[in-house]
Amino acid sequence: MPLPVPTPASVSAGDYITGALWNASVYNGINFLASRPFFIGVQTVVQSIANATWQPITLDTETADPYGGHSTVSNTSRYTCQVAGWYRVGGRVAFAANGTGSRGARIHINANYIQGGAALYGAGTLMGIPEVEHILYLSVGDYVELAGGQNSGGSLSTAYVNEGASVMYVFWEHA
């Protein structure tokens, strides 16, 4: 169950430390910080990415999602914010081997790209794995996605080969 960001109780000089005051000022804050919202999702089924486009990466497997912001059934590319705050959002997109063009990863918030939230790499004979990370403020209901892009001249699949997989992570950092 999601824990809200706690608000410390107001105290005055001479106040006694009651159980309620302790819970509001110390216990709730420690519990929240020990159980902050986070998500790690992995793509285990490859996806075709059209040439010269950015497409949200489907994340069909959850490594962790204690606040329930992701679904493996609908909108599988999205993590939807459950607790407002500043988040570290990042990920990598693994592409099949292809020696033409470049590969990219970028972060979207509510289906819009983030200025400075993209990375683009030239292709090689090995699988391209661009990685990107950004700090974003998310309100409850905002959603973030990892998108992959490529310009090889035709469609190119993502890859899932042992440690070479697309992954997105979302970690709550600050209120």
- pLDDT tens digit sequence for 138-147: 999 999 999 9
- pLDDT tens digit sequence for 1-10: 677 887 777 7
- How do the domains of the chain map onto residue ranges? 1-35, 38-174
CA dihedral 107, 121, 98, 61 (to 10 degrees): -30
pLDDT of residue 104: 92
pLDDT of residue 164: 83
Given the candidates 1.10.3720.10, 3.40.50.300, 2.60.120.40, 3.30.200.20, the CATH classification of the domain at 38-174 is 2.60.120.40
- Chain centroid to Cα 57, Å, comes to 11
Please give the Cα distance from 82 to 80 (Å, whole number).
Answer: 6
pLDDT of residue 21: 79
pLDDT of residue 141: 98
Contacts by 65-70, CB closer than 8 A, 24 or more apart: 65/39, 65/40, 65/41, 66/35, 66/37, 66/38, 67/2, 67/37, 67/38, 67/39, 68/2, 69/37, 69/39, 69/170, 70/39, 70/41
DSSP category for residue 70: B
pLDDT of residue 124: 58
pLDDT of residue 108: 97
- Residue spans of the chain under pLDDT 50: 125
pLDDT of residue 128: 65
pLDDT of residue 119: 86
